[in-house]
Amino acid sequence: MAKTNIVVVGAGFAGVYATKHLAKHYKRNKDVTITLIDRHSYFTYVTELHEIAADRVPEDAIQYDLQRLFNRRKNVKVVTDNVTGIDRDKKEVVTENGSFPYDYVILGIGSQPNDFGTPGVAEHGFTLGKWEDAIRLKRHIEDVVRRGSEEHDPAKRKALLSIVIVGSGFTGTETIGELRDWRDTLAKQYKLDPNEIQFSLMEMAPTIMNMLDRSDADKAERYMEKRGIKVMKNTGVVGVHEDHVDLKDGSTFPTCTLVWTAGVKATDQAKDFGLKQGRAGRILVKNNMESQDDPSIYVVGDVSLVDQDGTGKGQPQIVQGAEATALTALTNIEAKLENKEQVEYKANYSGFMVSLGSMYGVANIMGWLHLSGFFAMLMKHLVNMLYFIQVYSGYYLFQYFMHE
């Protein structure tokens, strides 16, 4: 076999998964080298950002050092740098500090929150797309609760102590559940009546948590309402201000804390690679995860869009989807190197699990097993731990277990 350079861009769920599996497959083949490039020196478990935002786990609990993850893989080079583009003529991945030759690229640069141009979200709202967002939100909530405890004007006090989440998908519901868990601790710290700290979940659709089976979503909704969370359906937010939001029906709602979780899109960096883009800026790929423009560039994770059903929507932007795209891409790179048949992307979702705080969740496993409460939370933790098993990291599996 000729010398082969595989460059993986992005150390998210898909990038780490692909790198780990390629490294294991070619651990005895010195002709294949793998380079993993990310702007950070760590992998962030982004689906648990709400735990950081609500002060449930230490701030570094969901960051996993890439050098430690790959320290036993001598055929992997981990590079901390910002990728600025791909020179397809020279077959080089270009970074701020150099360039890396490639035979194959796996591009997994992820997604970011999509506010759909809603006025004021960028200036006055919060999102949860990266670790820094979670830290910023956590510190803001501590600040507004402190200020609210000292405020004597009833209207200003109400706005300071009102927390609004927009969007009832995984991120929105898990965030509001986790923040509600934090409520009593905050109230005690700032000598408040806990009931003064109000939580509202706003959803433009007539139902919430539409990624779940209706019976599971209804059960979750009842649990949230039982805990005092105001669930506001058919409620569109059309403007965000420092102390209130504008609603689609013309009314306003007082709050100094709006967390926007109502959509995601491809990261802005996706446009830098000269590859065809589809809905929400996602890079269009063939069924084998090759980019539509270049058979040596594979695109995986949230930034990719494989349109198998012809609707243009693409596969769900969830961890299971990211892993499936990574598996397809790495299998096809191996197939090219070993003269084997290419395979097509195949969605394989074992189920959907949503936590509503540390003690309650709902889950739909394999489409027929419905769980709630402790057993749903146990299943969610098992699925999270499974990822560390899949990327062969016993150390971080143990770290996750200890934090949770």
- Rounded to an integer, what is the distance from CA 367 to the centroid of its chain? 23
Cβ neighbours for 277, distance < 8 A, ≥ 6 positions apart: 266, 270, 271, 283, 284
Cβ neighbours for 28, distance < 8 A, ≥ 6 positions apart: none
* CA separation, residue 313 to residues 13, 144, 283, 318, 383 (Å): 21, 39, 12, 14, 26
Q: Does domain 121-260 have CATH number 3.50.50.60?
A: yes
User: What is the greatest pairwise CA distance in the chain?
Assistant: 75
Per-residue tokens: 104: 């194959």
Of 69, 263, 45, 202, whose CA–CA distance to 134 is shortest? 45
Residue 158 burial by Cβ neighbours in a 10 Å radius (0-12, 13-18, 19+): middle
**pLDDT value for 1:** 65
pLDDT tens-digit profile, the chain (404 residues): 689 999 999 999 999 999 999 999 999 999 999 999 999 999 999 999 999 999 999 999 999 999 999 998 899 999 999 999 999 999 999 999 999 999 999 999 999 999 999 999 999 999 999 999 999 999 999 999 999 999 999 999 999 999 999 999 999 999 999 999 999 999 999 999 999 999 999 999 999 999 899 999 999 999 999 999 999 999 999 999 999 999 999 999 999 999 999 999 999 999 999 999 999 999 999 999 999 999 999 999 999 999 988 899 999 999 999 999 999 999 999 999 999 999 999 987 888 899 999 999 999 988 889 999 999 998 888 888 888 888 878 888 788 877 77
**pLDDT value for 396:** 81
**pLDDT value for 385:** 86
- What residues does each domain of the chain span? 4-112+264-350, 121-260
Record the pTM.
0.94
Contact 380, 353 (CB under 8 A): yes
DSSP sequence for 327-395: HHHHHHHHHHHTT-----------EEEEESSSS-EEEEETTTEEEETHHHHHHHHHHHHHHHHHTT-HH
Per-residue tokens: 295: 């058979």
Of 101, 131, 90, whose CA–CA distance to 37 is shortest? 101
Q: Does domain 4-112+264-350 have CATH number 3.50.50.60?
A: yes
CA 118/CA 128 separation, integer angstroms? 16
Of 404, 402, 393, whose CA–CA distance to 64 is shortest? 393
**pLDDT value for 12:** 97
